[in-house]
């Protein structure tokens, strides 16, 4: 029997905590039908500066976890004050060979314990910049919904606990049990990417007034084709200085920034208009529709037509 510990830290998302418990309970039933043992689930809370078990699906036996999961949070970004007992417990589990996992904002718990230093991880796309700023040693990749890095697995979205749980069921109980569990919950076991759902939210609080001035101009004139020299001239700056300061302030090269703005506008049109893909490409600034399709796929991960089929109201009917 594989033992899974769930951290019920202050602010932990209770839907994820209990959803994970239910999914592992169902997968245990499926595993037993195939002669397997399934999962034992425990919940862990901080109490008087130590971690104690508040729930056990198989009480009466010593707990030897194979996996510990930090769920997401709906009350801000952890770790919160007085989290050290939880972080110490997590570090000790990992030191003993336990696989540690996180969902959504739970990545901040792993990062707070130092377990993501030098490792690649994901979190909810809205938290990605903050995670990178607070913990610069973490290699944040918020495009991915789930990153499996051996003894550390991170999942990005609020509901990505489903993807994480299925990954663990696959690892410890096998593909047949995983597929039967997915069918029971009516969820798609195929891999997804977070960038399908994220929106481009440029950093406007970096403090560089000239770069901000150019960002405001680009927000309104993203469809105009402007060279780096022309953009630099708008704010009376050399091309070299513009490239350096713009990337430092926004995290993007000017051309990448414009592409992201255009793709963001194109996504809205694909979701809510009946314009053809070629018409949308022209409206957002691309004279060559094939170039638009190439950029769209690079940023979003699917073609414009596939995106419309997945996410427009008409395509989902």
Q: Tell me the per-residue pLDDT of 166-220, one tens digit each, with 9 for 90 and over.
A: 999 988 888 788 888 988 998 877 666 667 666 777 877 788 999 999 998 998 8
Mean pLDDT across 103-117 = 95
Give the CATH fold of the 2-196 domain.
Rossmann fold (3.40.50)
CA dihedral 95, 21, 188, 313 (to 10 degrees): -120
- Nearest-angstrom CA–CA distance, 8 and 256: 40
- pLDDT value at 316 more than 50: no
Q: What is the mean pLDDT of the chain?
A: 90
User: Does the domain formed by 209-316 have CATH 3.40.50.620?
Assistant: no
Task: Check: CB of residue 163 under 8 Å from CB of residue 153.
Answer: no
In angstroms, the first-to-last Cα distance of the chain is 42
* Over residues 302-308, mean pLDDT: 91
What proportion of the chain, given as a percentage, has pLDDT over 90? Answer: 63
- Dihedral (C-alpha) 152, 157, 162, 168: value to the nearest 10 degrees? -10
Domain ranges for the chain, please list them: 2-196, 209-316
Element (H, E) at 240: helix 239-250
- Please state, in angstroms and rounded to a whole number, the distance separating the CA atoms of residues 242 and 66: 50
Average pLDDT over residues 264-274: 87
- Give the per-residue SS3 of 249-296: HHCCCHHHHHHHHHHHHHHHHHHHCCCCHHHHHHHCCCCCHHHHHHHH
Q: What angle do CA 239, 240, 245 make, to 5 degrees?
A: 100
Q: What is the pTM for the complete model shown?
A: 0.69
The HSE-up count of residue 56 (CA atoms within 13 Å, CB side) is 10
List, for residues 223-244, the tens digit of each pLDDT value: 999 999 999 999 999 999 999 9
48-88 confidence digits (pLDDT tens): 889 999 999 998 877 788 999 999 987 667 777 789 999 99
């Amino acid at each position: 029997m594989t033992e899974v510990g769930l951290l019920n830290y202050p602010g932990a998302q209770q839907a994820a905590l209990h959803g994970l418990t239910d999914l592992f309970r169902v997968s245990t039933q499926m595993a037993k039908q195939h002669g397997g043992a399934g999962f034992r689930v425990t919940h862990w809370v901080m109490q008087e500066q130590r971690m104690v078990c508040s729930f056990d699906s198989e009480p009466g036996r010593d707990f030897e976890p194979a996996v510990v999961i930090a769920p997401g949070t709906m009350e801000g970004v952890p770790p919160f004050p007085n989290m050290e007992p939880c972080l110490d417990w997590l570090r000790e589990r990992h030191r003993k060979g336990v696989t540690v996992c996180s969902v959504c904002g739970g990545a901040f718990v792993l990062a707070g314990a130092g377990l993501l230093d030098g490792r690649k991880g994901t979190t909810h796309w809205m938290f990605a910049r903050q995670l990178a700023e607070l913990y610069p040693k973490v290699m944040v990749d918020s495009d991915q919904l789930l990153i499996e890095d051996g003894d550390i697995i991170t999942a990005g979205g609020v509901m990505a606990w489903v993807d994480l749980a299925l990954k663990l069921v696959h690892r410890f109980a096998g593909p047949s049990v995983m597929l039967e569990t997915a069918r029971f919950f009516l969820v798609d076991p195929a891999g997804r990417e977070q960038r399908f759902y994220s929106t481009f939210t440029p950093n406007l609080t970096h403090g560089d007034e000239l770069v901000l001035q150019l960002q405001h101009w680009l927000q309104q004139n993203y469809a105009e084709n402007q060279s780096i020299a022309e953009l630099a001239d708008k704010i009376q700056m050399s091309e070299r200085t513009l490239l350096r300061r713009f990337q430092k302030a926004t995290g993007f090269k000017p051309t990448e920034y414009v592409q992201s703005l255009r793709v963001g506008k194109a996504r809205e049109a694909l979701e809510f208009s009946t314009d053809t893909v070629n018409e949308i490409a022209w409206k957002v600034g691309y004279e060559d529709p094939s170039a638009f399709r190439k950029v769209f796929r690079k940023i979003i991960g699917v073609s414009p037509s596939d995106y419309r089929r997945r996410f427009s109201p008409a395509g989902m009917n």
